[in-house]
Amino acid sequence: MNQPIRRLSMVVAVMFVLLLVASTWIQVLGAQGIREASDNRRTQLDSYARERGQILLGGQPIARSTEVEDDLEWQRVYSDPELYSHVTGYFSFTYGSGAGLESASDGLLSGRDDQLFYDRLTDTIAGREPRGASLELTIDPDAQQAAEQALGEQRGAVVALDPSTGDILAMVSHPNFDPSPLASHDVPTERAAWERYTEDETQPMVNRAIGGNLYPPGSTFKIVTAAAALESGDYSAGSSIPGPATLDLPQTTSDLPNASGAACGANDQVTLAVAMQDSCNTAFGWLGMELGGDAVAEQAEAFGFGEELSVPMTVAPSTFPTGLNPPQEAQSAIGQYDVRTTPMQMAMVTAAVANDGVVMRPNMIEQVMAADTSVIDEPEPDALRRAISSDTASELTDMMQLVTTDGTGTAGAVDGVSVAAKTGTAQHAEGAAPHAWYTAFAPADNPQVAVAVVVESGGTAGSEASGGSSAGPISKAVMEAVLQ
């Protein structure tokens, strides 16, 4: 063989090897990514050619697919679309599956998940078009409706959990949106809805309960600081600590004042329990500096700060700053400075106190069912970790009950039920009305529900808002719905 022919043969051989490598990579390693690409119209067409699974509450669908007489064959239909918009998300031919369970559980709903392999095989042998799995949810419709109505037109979010299992009983985020026009097969209708939602400065498609820009938790974070103090072994609910009208912040020319402008107790001293009851800033600021930033950060981490979670939607990790100097420690101990959290995280903190100190993994899926209604998966309650001892949980429960009987959280009290709570009024921008927070659980001696509420920028009360007056009644309404 002469040299030119030999070189040509080598080039052909190399190209052949490259072709084999590329085709192997696409079929073996890249296939999943290509299938899941949001702009893959072949996958979208395939999804519409089969019946997508339902999303159910108590056996009733809040999202289902109906057969239609157009090229796409199936169309997604939502019941109470705005009430459950951040739970279901949307399923759109143009914009794909987005937000909520439509995105987080797309593999199951579409029937492509590996758990459905044998169902797909059975359907193929039987000559049926493979169908998606259905999801039965843990959401309590009464609690969801109560949260929706109580939050009203205000921006914010509500999360309710079963403390002993982590089941999500309610998840509401305002403003919400209607996923129905996004599921329309009329392209102009889809586009108009998409533009309306994405260009709205209030960002209605952001689920504020688990994501978004996160919020400073304000004084609801004092539960974490109090837990760190009790866990240190150096303090109890009856410990006397400084609670002056203002706390001098070292290394600065600033002071940390109490909201009332007065001292929290006689001779500028207050017990830890009363400091919690009256949400005393100076006492908790002092405590933050005494404990140190690392100790409070450790306690926050034990409750779940910094942790990535899926419920199955992704929950943005809450954050507690590191490398703090003393004034920053004081501010962080009262949930200000750079502390940022989700309502889900604060509900988890409160639920852990209610659950004897154990943090449960939040979960929204009660059952996954195949198209023939057989149960494929039934998630069991999953304990993430023990955040605090039983003794600390018991002491915190007693302190938090004082908040609703004699303190800042009386507006969240439920008649005939012992409620353990904490209020928060979080400053977040110069001149802006504060975010109003309330987190609680009940009954205190047999917890069945833990709630976290945030009302953005004071809601309808504006600069007059406080955690107790603005968010407390919302928590109360949700608890009453669960406990009725």
Nearest C-alpha neighbor of 82 from the set 40, 143, 144: 144
Look at residue 22 in the predicted model and tell me its pLDDT: 74
Neighbours of 261 (CB within 10 A): 8
Peptide bond into 4 cis (omega under 30): no
End-to-end CA distance of the chain: 91
477 CB-contact burial (10 Å; exposed 0-12 / middle 13-18 / buried 19+)? buried
- Chain centroid, CA 413 distance in Å: 24
- Give the separation between CA 293 and CA 377, rounded to whole angstroms: 42
**Domain 218-363+384-483 CATH superfamily:** DD-peptidase/beta-lactamase superfamily (3.40.710.10)
In whole angstroms, give the CA distance from residue 231 to residue 362.
24
Would you state the pLDDT for residue 28? 62
Q: What pLDDT is attached to residue 46?
A: 67
pLDDT of residue 33: 66
Query: Nearest Cα to 222, choosing from 314, 350, 61, 103?
Result: 350
Please list the rounded mean pLDDT of every run of 10 residues in the chain (484 residues).
Answer: 74 81 69 61 68 94 91 89 97 90 94 78 71 95 98 97 98 97 93 96 96 95 98 97 96 92 94 97 97 97 96 96 96 96 98 98 96 90 97 98 97 97 92 95 97 94 89 98 94
Asked whether the bond before 443 is cis by omega within 30 degrees of 0, the reply is yes
Are the CB atoms for 347 and 161 separated by under 8 Å?
A: yes
Q: Are 95 and 88 in contact (CB under 8 A)?
A: no
Catalytic residues: 219
Burial class (CB in 10 A: 0-12, 13-18, 19+), 22: exposed
- Mind spelling out the 3-state secondary structure of the chain? CCHHHHHHHHHHHHHHHHHHHHHHHHHHHCHHHHHHCCCCHHHHHHHHCCCCCCEEECCEEEEEEEECCCCCCEEEEECCCCCCHHHHCEEECCCEEECHHHHHCHHHHHCCCHHHHHHHHHHHHCCCCCCCCEEEECCCHHHHHHHHHHHCCCCEEEEEECCCCCEEEEEEEECCCCCCHHHCCCHHHHHHHHHHHHHCCCCCCCCCCCCCCCECCHHHHHHHHHHHHHHHCCCCCCCEEECCCEEECCCCCCEEECCCCCCCCHHHEEEHHHHHHCCCHHHHHHHHHHHCHHHHHHHHHHHCCCCCEECCCEECCCECCCCCCHHHHHHHHCCCCCCEECHHHHHHHHHHHHCCCEEECCECEEEEECCCCCEEECCCCCEEEECCCHHHHHHHHHHHHHHHHCCCCHHHCECCECCEEEEEEECCCCCCCCEEEEEEEECCCCCCEEEEEEEHHHHHHHHHCCHHHHHHHHHHHHHHHHHC
pLDDT digits (tens, 9 = 90+) for 107-126: 999 988 887 777 767 777 76
